[in-house]
Amino acid sequence: MSSFNNTRFVLLLLALCGSAFAAETGPNGWRGDGTGKYPTANPPLDWGRVAKSVKELSAQARKPKDGALPAKEAAIPDGVIRQWLVLGPFMIAEGASADDLLPSAETLSPDENEKAGELAWKSVTLETSCIDLCAIFNVPPEKKGMAAYAHTYIYSPSGGPVAYQLMFQGQGTNRAWLNGAALFSSPKNIDIPQGGRLVLNLLKGWNHLMILNTKTVNNYRKTWWTNGSLYGEKTNDYEMRGIVWTTPLPSPGASAPVMMGDRLFFTAETGVVVCANKADGKLLWMHGLTCYDFVTDEERKANADAFKELDPLAAKLKEIDKVELVTPFKIPNWPDTRACIETQMIQKISKIAPKKYNSMASYCEAGYTACNPVTDGRFVYALFGTGIVACYDRDGNLQWKRLLNHDPVEHGYTTSPVLVDGKLVVYFNNFTVLNAKNGEVILERPHYLPSGKPYTWYTHMHGTGVVLQAGNERVLYYPNGEFVRLSDGKTLTYDEKKFSMLGPLNRCATPVLENGVAYKLGSVGPLSSNSFGGAVAFKLAAPQGDKIDPEIIRDVPFNLDNHPYYYDPATMASPLVHDGLLYTLDDFGLLTVVDMVKGEVLYQRLLDLEIFMPYNQAGLLKGGASASPALAGKYMYIWGNQGTCLVLEPGRTYKQVAKLRLECFTNFWPAHQDVIMSAPIFEGDRMYLHAESTLYCIGPK
């Protein structure tokens, strides 16, 4: 095996799907110089795209008087209903039905302090779109056998439809009604209700919205809330400001863009690399690879009849690469879409060599494009969850391609490649080192398995590695706890107690490196009542033989149990470290700020991000707040997955500078608000963002 040399390196880091590198030409990935900070950037603080049907709405808790207009403070231009009446908690006996608690609840038009049995409606004003019932009623999160109602009055000066993206974390019966008509109804006993994008056909004038949320099935979820926000419903009637250009995309994708000179590169489902002009967003080229591109002559000869059907499908896909460059893109009929053709292809080709073409069995919640591309300034390297790796030059000429050996695994593959010293390091269930010039395999060995555990969801990893200096050696550290010496690709062993801090707890968030210190999420300590809460800072001394001894600088556990979450209190986003403070964002938008010098949590705050991630929903909706926080100039930019961006001033207290929103309806099935999974990149006074179906440039024109 040829060894890694010790010349300059380009480093990519990724959070869920993120990566970053430092290059002498400046930021070229969404994590900039490897820290997530863009110190010379100066993006604008006033921009947005909001549906006019939403911007004109108001909502209030109190019952409106006849003919009265809403007060100024009732306006909800961001689609977030903040004023509610709540009623509860009702205690539900074992086996009793929540439907009998408040007969004909959907017909009620309550007012503040109005009695309903022994309880009275009370008014609450929210800071976010989340109605946290545990906090409102001061009930323990683990308690069950409860129910509550929430009600608000919505004023629409025009009338007409808007979309209401509604989720529940109440294990039991959940209902929603508009003007007395049923909107949503879950089964009576359900662990995680799916929620959905509901259509509110608002009347001109006042409307009333009623919600029932119960918690009767499980108590181990330790959270009880309703979350919903409003968006335009299948509309192009947006109010836009501060946007240089938008490019609708023909295929969905979750990767962040990387920059090479005057061009942007990103990926699209399921194996497409896309190049866009940075100046105007025009798509310059698209090239897709599928399993078909790795067929051998022997496979073709042995399955001649199968290829009579496969060859025309492959030809259609190559034609689609050209057709989809035309903007605005027109969605074809389903049989002619890329997704439909690729589905037919994998069904046929997987019968030829099931072991080789098993990639479609590892679908990820973020799709097959959760791995970020990487560039060295001359070429762009793309990795897909299907196991396909490819290298293109800036003009779209394919330099090489490879299909990795990998097995199906729950939640798929999201780990981005690391480009270092002319080598491309890929970590799926095999640790693979490729020659960046030609794609040849330099090293391939099995995935690291701690304590002899089998390769399962427990040992699988989603974050990407970070390169640390260890004496004269450089060591690649992955968030599953593996340290790899780059000079020979060997795994270094270390103390098992330290593995409990640096190992598989929180295998999803990519560590960050600053001043030789690595920061990883997932700590164990007396205050940490679940495995998701905590931050660890460490650095490395020179290895002693094949052993490494990480120096733990700080281990700061923090508790997440009393904050709302959806399925688990998980964190996909990579942390941001600045001036000794660590900022970390969990999937549901909870910001935790930690003083890593003193080793203490400064504050935790649920952000106003309108998260939407219905359980088992198709598409890219399940990732939550996956985009890693970034620091551009003197402000932090934090994104939710539904187009909301908060601009914050970093520091020891919470200081919000702006709340901004990008609305975009997409017809990618199922129809929904455009999903944002990756962080933007910054250059000067511009910000570039790859949403699921749209590429944005934000800044002055």
- Alpha-carbon distances of 239 from 48, 50, 197, 204, 235, rounded to whole Å: 8, 5, 22, 21, 11
Between CA 565 and CA 292 the distance in angstroms is: 41
Residue 435, H or E segment: strand 430-435
Give the Cα-Cα-Cα angle 226, 228, 232 (nearest 5 degrees): 170
Between CA 598 and CA 596 the distance in angstroms is: 6
Q: Which of 316, 344, 434 is nearest to 382 (CA)?
A: 434
DSSP state at residue 384 = -
Q: What is the dihedral of CA 670, 671, 673, 676, to 10 degrees?
A: 40
Pairing mode, strands 630-632 and 37-38: parallel
* Cβ contact 198:164 at 8 Å: yes
Q: Which of 589, 582, 585, 524 is nearest to 558 (CA)?
A: 524
For the purposes of burial, counting CB atoms within 10 Å of the CB of 459, is it exposed (0-12), middle (13-18) or buried (19 or more)? buried
pLDDT of residue 216: 87
**290, two tokens:** 């599928």
Burial 646-683 (b: 16+ CB within 10 A, else e): bbbebeeeeeeeebbbbbbbbebeeebbbbbbbbbbbb
pLDDT of residue 522: 81
Give the Cα-Cα-Cα angle 674, 680, 681 (nearest 5 degrees): 150
Which residues is 37 bridged to in the sheet? Answer: 32, 631
**172, two tokens:** 């039991």
Which residues is 315 bridged to in the sheet? Answer: none
Phi, psi of 375 (to 5 degrees): -130, 145
3-class state of residue 652 by DSSP? coil
Q: Please tell me the number of Cα atoms within 13 Å of 9 on its side-chain side.
A: 23
Structural domain spans, the chain:
37-47+244-698, 49-239
**572, two tokens:** 């996909």
Pairing mode, strands 160-169 and 196-202: antiparallel
Between CA 214 and CA 90 the distance in angstroms is: 9
* Cβ contact 353:370 at 8 Å: no
Q: pLDDT under 50 in the chain at which residues?
A: 1-27, 29, 526-530
* Cβ contact 168:195 at 8 Å: yes
Dihedral sign of CA atoms 394, 398, 403, 409 in order:
positive
pLDDT of residue 684: 95
**DSSP class per residue in 526-587:** TT-SSTT--EEEEE----BTTB---EEEEEE----TTS--SSS----SPPEEETTEEEEE-T
Which residues is 682 bridged to in the sheet? Answer: 687
- Greatest C-alpha distance within the chain: 82
At 208, which amino acid appears?
Answer: H
CATH architecture, domain 49-239: Sandwich (2.60)
pLDDT of residue 203: 97
Between CA 408 and CA 364 the distance in angstroms is: 10
pLDDT of residue 10: 26
Burial 107-135 (b: 16+ CB within 10 A, else e): ebebeeeeebeebebbeeebebbbbbbbb
Between CA 645 and CA 49 the distance in angstroms is: 12
**625, two tokens:** 């707040």
Residues found in the chain: 701
Q: Which of 366, 367, 365, 347 is nearest to 357 (CA)?
A: 347
* Cβ contact 226:150 at 8 Å: yes
Q: Which of 103, 107, 127 is nearest to 117 (CA)?
A: 103
DSSP state at residue 141 = T
pLDDT of residue 16: 32
Pairing mode, strands 635-639 and 535-539: unpaired
Q: Please tell me the number of Cα atoms within 13 Å of 243 on its side-chain side.
A: 19
Residue 307, H or E segment: helix 304-323
Give the Cα-Cα-Cα angle 337, 343, 345 (nearest 5 degrees): 105
- Matching residue, tokens 């439907």: 99
Between CA 698 and CA 605 the distance in angstroms is: 27
Which CATH class for the 37-47+244-698 domain? mainly beta
Between CA 120 and CA 148 the distance in angstroms is: 12
- Matching residue, tokens 């009055």: 153
pLDDT of residue 458: 55
Residues 606-634 pLDDT 10s: 999 999 988 766 667 777 899 999 999 99
Dihedral sign of CA atoms 228, 232, 238, 243 in order:
positive
- Alpha-carbon distances of 376 from 276, 283, 380, 383, 464, rounded to whole Å: 17, 21, 7, 15, 18
Between CA 18 and CA 22 the distance in angstroms is: 14
